[in-house]
Structure 1
Amino acid sequence: MDKIVSLAKRRGFVFQSSEIYGGLSSTWDYGPLGVELKRNVKDSWWRTFVWERNDMVGLDASILMHPDVWRASGHIQNFTDPLVDCKSCHQRWREDQLEKHECPACGGELTEARNFNLMFKTFIGPVEDDSSVAYLRPETAQGIFVNFENVLNSTRKKLPFGIAQIGKAFRNEITTGNFIFRTREFEMMEIEFFVRPGEDEEWHKRWLDDCMRWYTDLGINPDRLRVREHEAAELAHYAKATYDIEYLFPWV
């Protein structure tokens, strides 16, 4: 991985953010080649899933939203990870990712787990109190959901149809690392596709096929791709089922 990070910097793909001030953990800047690569991928995605379809429209929702949005979606209550601290070296870990109840770094005793909310909290306006609390969105879906009626009324779309969005999201992850693969600020390309009750299984299969085709059209070797269904313990608090399209990296 170190060789890849070094190569990415030398060629102008990715730089450590704030590097001249010592850098900031898990933050990265995309250089001249990196930003063009990202733009090409986003343009391909938008062209394939929005412009070339008649059942899809786009949206660009605000990063900051009313806190009641996150209260209604369950994120304030449930968007958490179990956090433990080492009593010796004071490092923090996600309890659900530990094989044994001891510190992976020094073997020390760990505290009892407590829930840690992953949303970044901020304040709107000059006064920092409960009435001015806001959150940086941890995902882009909620901007789509709260604008569903606006999109429906303005476009006259009929079910089934989808709303696509590309934008930044933020998660105050307990553990980060592995270069750009796990960061606290990241960009998402997301689609919410709305169907009639009972048609979800059929459309889900279509979308898995369409997404897999997009990856292979980009030039990715299909032999290194797989579809993996999440186990019940992995599901988000709002999910009925989740499937990942995973890529087998050469160093895994």
Structure 2
Amino acid sequence: MLAMRHLLDLCKRRGFLFQSAEIHGGLRGTYDYGPLGVELKRNVSHEWWNSTVYQRSDVVGIDTAIITPPAVLRASGHVDQFTDEMVDSFLSKDRFRPDKAPELKLNNQGKILPITAPDKSTAKLWEQEIRTQFAKGAMIGRKGNEILLQVDRMEKDRIILKRDPAFISTDSAKEETTSSLKPSLSSSSPSNNDAALLQIPYRGYVDPNTNSPFLTEPRPFNLMFKTYLDPIDPIDKVINATLDAQKSSLDMKATRELVDKTLYPSLTYLRPETAQGVFINYMTIQRSHPHLRIPFGIAQIGKSFRNEIRLEHAIFRTPEFEQMELEYFVAPWQAQEQFATWRKSRMDWWRLYARHHDRIRERAHAPDELAHYSSGCMDVEYLFPWGWGEVEGIANRGDFDLSKHTEATGVKLHYTDVVLMEERVLREKTTGQKETSAEVLAREQFTPHVVESSCGLNRAMLALMLDAMDIVDEQGRSVPLEDADDNDKSRKGVRTIMRFHPRLAPIKAAVMPLISNNKDLVDICTSISHHLRQELQVNVALETQNTTVGRRYYRMDEIGTPWCVTVDYDTLSDNMVTIRDRDTGAQRRVLKDEVVGIIQDGLRLYPRHRGSQQATNIA
């Protein structure tokens, strides 16, 4: 995780990413994007939009509302099914998903169960809780911040612990032949009734942070944020409904039903995904854009919200995030072919903008991972410092979404192929025979299937920043991240270069005078930077800090600026400037009027001499 710490330090220091509301103590899982971060995020989303919409004639864009009525999400299944299982740790009080939790780790050839506390004082408190509540009478030791339980053996659904001999007595042996855990931790009678042993339940996973098996039963947890469109405070309605329930002596379940019924008229949700906004607008877009023929797509970039159980790895998993999603509508018989096509297209996109192709892979979902309506799903994964993590998913969703919204509303969200229909009518008139083939008629009108590409913008940013980060020595050679410790004088000269693809770089060029306080040089720099902004419509830095040119170069390297343009005294007489390349460090003298053309060529996805047939990664 050293790479993450190094990156986050750079992000905060240079203005990519900040903890939200930091001066007020911050809010867990929320981040603000600084001047460089917002540019990087905008560039990543623009490149996605350019690839998905601008470079195609069969995809249009849309921007739908964040606040979503319950009817939409009930039809899509989110109200009833958009849940994760949740487990709490009795010791740490942490909450996590069991399907993401690790298996139990044992030390000393399976004889010791170590539970790791944050510090020694916490370990002492936890040891007391285990002795008195969760494993009464177990043989326990403690070393530093680790609590060590003696294990006799592991069984399929339980851990058999050794008892402390001092605890065993005639009375306790009778009392403790079954588990002495709390009711919530109880299990079936042990297979071994030996008084010198004690069993605790094991469900196949432990607390990810502590290795503790002392956990609650898993329970469902809905991931959607509720909100209410109502001038009356919903809390007032809850209080009044609860008081009415008490007067009627209703039990807890009936009280909850009454409260939900009272709140329902004003209930809304913050959308958990952008896709449903596309599906409910499918017919409207088809009517307003009759030229769109199957297959065609609808793209959207926007914020979504999920009440995540576990927030982790900075912007990798947060409650508020942005998605770049495409819903590509196809005929049922085109679905598998289009699924394969989009899989390749999206992998090509990632390989274009990332430097380390060995850190990117595609992983097909196993049959037991697929949603019940999906016939195929592939994740694009990036090798983060903590392991492989999903950055995008491509799925063959079938006709599930459109069919469900049709079922809920009665509005037929189908597609009619007017050309095929007109051909059939003409054929029937010519032959005098009515078409009866179900297969032919089914091709004229059908509910489209959907191939979806869903990319997390925040995760894509994090992956591309980690991918671009390069630690180099004084000679520009890559070195291990461990050598980036600035406090070690023996490692002087080690620095960071963010080798973004030029089209992703937050600042495309920095223009700087050799001497910052020379008005003539500054005026020329101002003119060049203004010209670049006007002609290329890109972010350009006018770098006039009062320090050496070398330091300014290194600062621009650290934030990923591909080109630096330096104006010196010779420029006053020969109109030539020095342009420096971030990745090679090479410098060359060019006419100042050539700067725009050089940077424009460097920002092209497709080289001039090859037209638009082959993409070239120039990062």
Normalising to structure 1: TM-score of the pair?
A: 0.94
Residue of structure 1 aligned with 2:269, choices 135, 142, 155 = 135
CA distance in 1 between counterparts of 2:226 and 2:385 reads 37
SS at match of 2:380: strand
SS at match of 2:216: coil
SS at match of 2:40: helix
Question: How many angstroms does 1:15 deviate by?
Answer: 0.5
CA distance in 1 between counterparts of 2:100 and 2:358 reads 28
Equivalent residue, structure 2, for 1:224: 359
Q: Compare 160-169 and 171-180 and name the one that shifted more.
A: 171-180
Q: Which has the higher contact order (CA 8 A, sep 6+)?
A: 1
Could you list the per-position Cα deviations for residues 197-224 of structure 1 after superposition, in whole angstroms to 9, with x for gaps in the alignment? Answer: 1211111111111112222222443333
SS at match of 1:172: coil
Residue of structure 1 aligned with 2:279, choices 134, 140, 145 = 145
Question: How many angstroms does 1:102 deviate by?
Answer: 4.0
Question: How many angstroms does 1:67 deviate by?
Answer: 0.8
Stretches of structure 1 that go unaligned for 5 or more consecutive residues are none
Bigger CA radius of gyration: 2
Equivalent residue, structure 1, for 2:49: 46
Could you list the per-position Cα deviations for residues 159-200 of structure 1 after superposition, in whole angstroms to 9, with x for gaps in the alignment? Answer: 100000000001111011111111111100000000001211
Q: Is the 8 A contact 1:171 1:185 kept in 2?
A: yes
CA distance in 2 between counterparts of 1:247 and 1:163 reads 26
CA distance in 1 between counterparts of 2:356 and 2:212 reads 41
Equivalent residue, structure 2, for 1:103: 207
Specify the code of the residue in structure 2 equivalent to 1:33.
L
Q: Is the 8 A contact 1:89 1:106 kept in 2?
A: no
Change (3 A) 1:251 1:92: closer
| Aligned pairs, number | 252
Between the aligned residues of both structures, percent identity stands at 51
Change (3 A) 1:123 1:205: same
Specify the code of the residue in structure 1 equivalent to 2:35.
P
CA RMSD of aligned residues (A): 1.7
Equivalent residue, structure 1, for 2:345: 210
CA distance in 2 between counterparts of 1:222 and 1:106 reads 34
Stretches of structure 2 that go unaligned for 5 or more consecutive residues are 104-203, 235-262, 388-619
Specify the code of the residue in structure 2 equivalent to 1:116.
F
Q: Compare 205-214 and 17-26 and name the one that shifted more.
A: 205-214
Normalising to structure 2: TM-score of the pair?
A: 0.39
Q: Is the 8 A contact 1:56 1:162 kept in 2?
A: yes
CA distance in 2 between counterparts of 1:29 and 1:160 reads 38
CA distance in 2 between counterparts of 1:95 and 1:250 reads 22
CA distance in 1 between counterparts of 2:44 and 2:205 reads 41
CA distance in 2 between counterparts of 1:24 and 1:198 reads 48
Question: How many angstroms does 1:56 deviate by?
Answer: 0.3
Change (3 A) 1:138 1:191: same
Change (3 A) 1:102 1:250: closer
Q: Is the 8 A contact 1:228 1:243 kept in 2?
A: yes
Could you list the per-position Cα deviations for residues 18-73 of structure 1 after superposition, in whole angstroms to 9, with x for gaps in the alignment? Answer: 11011111111111001001111111111111011011000000001221110000
Q: Is the 8 A contact 1:163 1:193 kept in 2?
A: yes
Question: How many angstroms does 1:239 deviate by?
Answer: 3.0
CA distance in 1 between counterparts of 2:80 and 2:70 reads 12
Q: Is the 8 A contact 2:17 2:33 kept in 1?
A: yes
Q: Is the 8 A contact 1:88 1:108 kept in 2?
A: no
CA distance in 1 between counterparts of 2:91 and 2:356 reads 46
CA distance in 1 between counterparts of 2:93 and 2:370 reads 29
Change (3 A) 1:41 1:110: same
Question: How many angstroms does 1:225 deviate by?
Answer: 1.8
Q: Is the 8 A contact 2:205 2:213 kept in 1?
A: no
Alignment of 1:19-168 (within 5 A): 19-98=22-101, 99=103, 100-104=204-208, 105=210, 107=212, 109-127=214-232, 128=234, 129-156=263-290, 157-168=292-303
SS at match of 1:3: helix
SS at match of 1:242: strand
Could you list the per-position Cα deviations for residues 125-169 of structure 1 after superposition, in whole angstroms to 9, with x for gaps in the alignment? Answer: 123212111111111000000000000000111110000000000
SS at match of 1:248: strand
CA distance in 1 between counterparts of 2:31 and 2:5 reads 15
Equivalent residue, structure 2, for 1:201: 336
Specify the code of the residue in structure 1 equivalent to 2:381.
E
CA distance in 1 between counterparts of 2:276 and 2:365 reads 22
CA distance in 2 between counterparts of 1:71 and 1:43 reads 32
